[in-house]
Structure formats: C-alpha cells, structure tokens
Amino acid sequence: MSNETFYLTTPIYYVNATPHLGHAYTTILADTMARFQKLRLGPERVYFLTGTDEHGDKIAQAATQTGESPQAYADRISGIFQETWRRLGLAPNQFIRTTSEPHKRAVQRLLQQIYDSGDIYFGEYGGQYCFGCERFYTEKELQDGRCPDHQTTPTFIKEQNYFFRMGKYQDWLIDHIRHHPDFIRPERFRNEVLSFLKDPLEDLCISRPRTRLEWGIPLPFDAQYVTYVWFDALVNYISAPGWPDGEVFQRFWPSAQHLIAKDILKPHAIYWPIMLKAAGLPLYRHLNVHGYWKIEEAKMSKSRGSVVRPLDLADKYGVDAFRYFVLREMTFGLDASFSEEALVARLNADLANDLGNLYSRVLKLIQRYYDGRISELPGERGLADATRVAVMGVTAATERFAFSEALAAIWNLVSATNKYLVTNEPWKADPEDAQTKAVLFSAAETLRAIAILLWPFLPQTAERMLQGLGVSEPLTSIHFDELLSSSWHLGSQERRVQEVEPLFPRIEVTVPRLKPAGTGAKPLPQKSPPLVPSPSEGGELGEGCIEQITIEEFRRIDLRVAEVIEAVAIPGSKKLVKLRVRLQDEERIVVAGLKEPYPPESWAGKRVILVANLRPTKLMGIASQGMVLAAEDESGRIVLLTPEQPISSGSKVR
C-alpha cells in the first residue's frame, strides 16, 4: 500500500483585520484540496494547516487603537478567524498561532542555526520602509514612489539591524527554479520570480530594534532585537508539524505544498526557500499562487474600504452556494471580479436548475414508481462512461488547483444525466418495464457518483444528496477508483430514497431597471439577474425602444479583446460556429451565430470583442462562455467588431 502523504498550508493570516473574502477564498481552496486528497489517499494521509500571524508593527498599533494589550488583541482576532472557518465548514487539521510557545522556540532555534552557520550578520541600513507591509522597498519596487499595495509613500528609515545573506543563495535558487518547472505554479508566477532574480538580490533585514518595536520574538543571540515578522511567520510551516523531531513533521514535510495569494509571492518564493536552504532543510514541493478578487476592477483592500465579508454571503445564500461561486468563478492564477448578482446567477442556473432539478426529478420518480426502493441494477449501468470521463477530468484538474475546470467536468456529467433522462423519458414509461427501472436506477447511481465528486467542493450538499439516496456508508470509506467501476455493486442490499427537499431553493430577485425616458422607472422582477442577456434569452426591447441604464450598470459588462485560436462548424446547425478563444492566460469556448458571414476557416487569428462576464449558456449542447460582438445594418449585413489596431488578448474595452 502506498505511503504517499499530502501536506497543504494556507498563509497564516495577519490579525490586523477580521476575515474577508480573500482570506476565505484561500482557505476554501485549501479545504477543497484537502478533502479531494482524503478521497484519493485516505484521511489519515492528509494534513491541512492554517492559522494566524500575530507579531509586528501593525498588530501593536491596532492594539493601541483598541485599548488592548497586543496579546489580548491577537487572542480576540484569532478567535474570530477560527470561528469564521468553523461556520464556513472548513476543517483544518491544525490552526497555528505565532504567539504559541512551541512556535517561538522553533523560530529561535532556526535563527540560531542560521546565525551559527555565518549567514546572519550585524550592519546598518537605510531604506524606504512601508509600515503597512512592514518591509523595506527598493526604488524599483515602488510605483510612482508609493507602496504598490497600500498606495502610501514609504518612510525613510536608517538603523542598525541584523541581516540575512540572501544574495549568497541567489544562483542556487535560480538554478532550482529552472530545474523544477512546477516549483512555482502557475507558470506566470514562476516567470515573475525569475524576472525579479535577474537583478542582484539584496540581503534581508531580519530584526527590529526593541527601542522601536517590542511586540515580536526576541533574537536568541541578541535580546535587544526582535525578529522581523516574515522571518517569524514563514517558520510556522515547519513549527506547526513539530520541527525538527515531531512525528507529523517527519511524515508530512516531504510532501509539503503552500497555497498563497500573489501579493505574498516574494517572501514565499525567495525568502522561504533560501531560509530552508541555509538551515539545511529540504524545500517544499510546490508553491501554488492564486489571483485577487476585485471589486470594480480594484483589489479588495481594508485600507481602501472595499471588502466583502464571507459570513454575510454564507448566511444569506448558504455555505455551499458561496463555496461554489468562488471555486467556479475564479480561474486559478488569474484575477476575478466579485459581484453578488453573479453569485445569485450561478446559484439559480447551476445549483437550483441543473443540479437541484435533476436530483429532485430522479428521486421523486423512484418514490412514485417503486415506493422509494432502489434494488440491484438490472444489467449494465447507463452513464458509466460519462462517469469515468468526469472522474478523470476532476482528478486531472484538481491536481492543478483548477477547481473551475473540475466543477465544469462535474457539470458535464450533470448535463449528460439530464440528457439521458430526456432521451429515455421514464416519466412516460411503464414502471414495471425493466428498461424504465434501469434508466432511473442508473440515474440514481450517477447522482451518487456526482455527490461523491462534489464532496470536496460542496460538502454539505454532497452529504445531503447521499442521505437522500439512501447511502449510509461514510464518505471517508469511499475511494475515487470505485467510481470508475462500470457496474453498481449493491449486492443483496436495498437502498431507499428519502423525502426530497430542494437542494438549492431558487433566489427570486428584483433588479431595478429603467423604462424608456419619460415613462418613469419601476423595478421589474426577474427570475435571475443575468449581467447581460444571453444568446438564448434574446434581449430585444421592441422596435424604436432603447432601454436606459446607469453608468454603474454598464460597468458590470466586462468587454475584452479575445484571440480566436480555432473555429469549427457545429454539426446540425446552419448558423452556429464553436470558437476556442484566448483571453490573456485563459482559454474559453464560445458559440457564435455567425457561421454564414464568417465560415470556420475565416476565424483563426482574428481578434474579436467578447462579453467576458456573460453567464454561461448551452447552445446545441455546448457551454458557451461569452458572446462575440458584431454589428448588423438595415440591409441585414453583419460585420464582426474588431480592434482598429493590434492589441494583446485580454485587453479591456473601455
């Protein structure tokens, strides 16, 4: 039996603020990956770590403002993080705090070890210091003389401190990154680090004088100084599992992977591996880097007053609906825009309509025809091939943290099951017919597979689905390989489906829309709030009637330049063509009704204007992820809208 293990960490979150969407997203990603690996390897071979970072200038300042001691302040905010993760259903193996005594001892041990090797020295340095980031910036790193994250002007500080000889290891780090292409992923962040390392690497100031800052871990070789917060925080990844001799450390560190947002790429991709090398410790396997959630095209930021509170959304729409939105909406490694309207659209279209209706239909028919009893499947199970494809797709995508792709693979199976039912129409058939029973029992078994596949992503929903299907065995006893079987192994057992309640009640919303000028404006109810009309919904307002919208409504429409990579005709359609397009680092499938004026062979290499945040719509069984814009004159002539001059794919149309 394999002894493979999986160790995954989130950043430890700084307690100068309470949790927001960015914190929740990273931790949900980690929780999802940990659950997936538990299905793949078994729960005892997976270790998931998160926690809070509690030392440094900002914590001391925040505590002063609230009238608390730094420790009392850290206790309170760390408690809020732990309670938030509990209410979001996140299940780490360990929650570490950097104010814990075992962590402090590990930091001092590592410092002493590196100091004894001669890689830490005492010196004087002057530089531009950002108190928000608690770090010095070079002139090259500043943007118009400001901190790129906080947009504040740094303060010049000159003082004596201890320094870590990072420059000594620069060539070694470059060589390691080049010879391990997946050390930092996605590739764009690997390239970013290599680009940064083209310039000489300055030694790192790793201390702060206690005359300026008391709230930190004292240096073991000079008690007049405390440890720089990054040299403290990064050590949590080995202190938590019990470095150097702890059983958990010995077992799990060889499989370590870190998960971070791109704003802390440099400390994790440069400081941390060099610290490990200097201490004679093996490096982590992968550094996985995700993008920002943006609000109105700007990074979410407490200092800028633009944050989304995860519990507000989870309380309003449900934990799993919130999880589904953030996992499905963001392509790993790229930025994504948050809007509550888009969350509701996903909930209604994907969860309530596609999954919820399928689940309800199958269970109700089994209750009506067979008194809810599911016995051994008569003959070979239909949809077995579609299930195998879904399992392989989910596995391949999840290993790369491509959770949006993984969910798309599951939804392909949902769609295949819906199509299977529509084709066979069991609601019109004789319940005593063996084929009817085979269709419904195959659909029920496929729903069981869907629930298991969904458990890493939507754990509460998956458990409700399995309970409704009469599955009693715990999820932790199920292995992904079992789903690849082509038959349903019930043996002599009989399952009985439960009463069906909606998995995701549809959200009815009222979206304010303006009537044509002069008629007054009243809110018009909608079943769901699409950002713009989809191709299947139309969008006609009537001849001569132009709907007025506000500038805020227009800003919700994300228009991007896309490069067409490939175009193919869709069999059975006179108008539709399937396009594979590139948006910067992302590829999408888009269905366009422009086959007659633009045959497939004319598309390759064209740059088109794409509505990039259109809710996905199925056309001829193909999920279209956007809309290509064209103009039509009075004669019916159609002209594709393209940029006037060459411009890179992904460029925003303003």
Known catalytic residues? 20, 23, 130, 133, 147, 150, 299, 302
> What DSSP assignment string belongs to 90-140?
---SEEEETTSHHHHHHHHHHHHHHHHTT-EEEEEEEEEEETTTTEEE-TT
Cα separation, 408 vs 393, in Å, equals: 9
Check the CA dihedral 318-322-328-329 and report its sign. Answer: positive
User: To 10 degrees, what angle do helices 357-370 and 459-468 make?
Assistant: 10
Write out the E strands in 228-320. Answer: 256-261, 286-290, 293-295, 298-299
Beta bridge partners of 46: 6
Separation CA 530–CA 537 (nearest Å): 10
Annotated binding site for Zn(2+): which residue ranges? 130, 133, 147, 150
What is the residue whose two structure tokens read 């095209």? Answer: 297
What's the CA angle centered on 367, arms 362 and 370, to 5 degrees? 110
Q: Which residues, other chains included, contact 475 with Cβ-Cβ below 8 Å and sequence gap of 6+?
A: 39, 452, 455, 462, 463, 466
The contacts of residue 519 (CB under 8 Å, 6+ apart) are none
Phi and psi at 162, nearest 5°, equal: -95, 145
Cis, peptide link before residue 599, omega less than 30° from 0:
no
- Please list, in sequence order, all residues whose beta carbon lies within 8 angstroms of the beta carbon of residue 377, skipping any fewer than 6 positions away: 438, 441, 442, 445, 487, 488, 490
Q: Which helix (H) or strand (E) holds 231?
A: helix 229-233
Q: At what angle do helices 319-329 and 459-468 cross, to 10 degrees?
A: 120
Q: Return the CA Rg of the chain.
A: 28
**Residues 6+ away with beta carbon under 8 Å from 601:** 567
Residues within the annotated binding site? 130, 133, 147, 150
Residue for token digits 């390691």? Answer: 176
Please tell me the distance from the alpha carbon of residue 513 to that of residue 501, in angstroms, as a whole number. 33
